[in-house]
Copies of this chain bind each other. A is one copy, B any other.
Amino acid sequence: MDLAQLATPALVLDRRLLLANSQRMADRLGRFGVPLRPHVKTVKSAAVLHAAFGRLPKAITVSTLAEAEYFFAAGIADILYAVGIAPAKLEAVANLMAAGADIKIILDSMEAAHLTAERGRALGVRFKVVIEIDCDGHRAGLKPGDPTIVEVGRLLDGDAGTILAGVMTHAGASYDCRSEAALIAMAEQERAAVVTAAAALKAAGLVCPIVSMGSTPTALFAQHLDGITEVRTGVYLFQDLVMAGIGVCRPEDIALSVLVTVIGHNKEKGWIVTDGGWMALSRDRGTATQPVDQGYGLVCDLAGRIIPGLRVDAANQEHGIIAATGGASFDRARFPIGARLRVIPNHACATGAQHKAYRVIDGGLDVIATWERMGGW
């Protein structure tokens, strides 16, 4: 089976690029001696993780309970569930702990700490809790200098329902950086924020074993990681056009693409119509706010070579519309009905989520494996 025979649309993963992306991050973090706790919300597949690291990693980050359950069943015990915990989810966390998972949860308020501690006591377990720190005003967390950090730390440390496990942060604002200098500065801001929070806990006589930071842009541009015990990154394994737009990778480094077939032409408008709509590409338009808007994705030939001057301009549910960027013309005869193309996506997490499996290639056209993806909550 090769890419010319697959039913389309299909999600294609180039193992060769996956390994290169994995190695690049390992080299980068190896320089600082800081271990990686990969975020699996992008790949959602034990087979992909195994391939990327040559074995299953010992410690991971997850974004859902379903990911925690799936990867624990696959053999990974050390799990950080990096979305603020909802009290109703604690029973499922306790069940995972009872089964042997070393799961850590996160929260960012006294309200959540009280609710978690109470639930821990009721369930007869001590939840390991990491305090979420806000390094960039982007989403959630306590500001590094907020005295609530120590207050929450004391509660977690002293309660029979909880254990204080550390601090973590995520520089979501790194996605808005537009220069290497800005990325370097954001990485330092992220590092300093979480290390400052850890220092506050230690100064109050509390322990803080985990000091965790991470985003793909900051991990690749940090100049040092002093005081950090682990880095969490996910999208780097695939990379995508949003990352390329930030300057974190080149479009040629992106391991994920969607295989599509030409189904028609709108001659008047100069469009190539394909069977790769937003159901296959996702509705993600992450490059829309970047200096170069890549539409719904860049267009490659079957071998994965980018075709300059084309992009997926619009998408309906099962129709993709490819047009020349800037309204230039192209030779339609190169793209007859039945021709196959590959589309590099804006956002690997979103595009991956539209598919049930990866069709894996190794730099060529042969499909060497099919790796299932999990989903849901």
Question: Who on chain B is nearest to A263 by CB?
Answer: B84
Q: Are A263 and B83 in contact (CB under 8 A)?
A: yes
Q: Are B266 and A139 in contact (CB under 8 A)?
A: yes
Nearest CB of B to A180, in Å? 24
A354 an interface residue at 8 Å Cβ cutoff? yes
Q: Report how far A257 CA is from B109 CA in the complex, Å.
A: 28
Question: Who on chain B is nearest to A356 by CB?
Answer: B376
Determine the chain B residues whose CB is within 8 A of the CB of A321 once the complex forms. Answer: 139
If over half of A's interface residues share one DSSP class (helix, strand or loop), that class is named, otherwise mixed; here it is loop
Determine the chain B residues whose CB is within 8 A of the CB of A172 once the complex forms. Answer: 316
Q: Are A353 and B354 in contact (CB under 8 A)?
A: yes
Question: Who on chain B is nearest to A321 by CB?
Answer: B139
Determine the chain B residues whose CB is within 8 A of the CB of A5 once the complex forms. Answer: 88
Q: Are A273 and B317 in contact (CB under 8 A)?
A: no
Nearest CB of B to A79, in Å? 15
Nearest CB of B to A348, in Å? 11
Q: Are B318 and A63 in contact (CB under 8 A)?
A: yes
Determine the chain B residues whose CB is within 8 A of the CB of A284 once the complex forms. Answer: 278, 283
Q: Are A86 and B263 in contact (CB under 8 A)?
A: yes
Q: Are B107 and A269 in contact (CB under 8 A)?
A: no
Give 6 new A-B contacts, CB below 8 A, not counting A8-B377, A83-B275: A7-B65, A63-B317, A85-B263, A88-B261, A139-B319, A283-B283
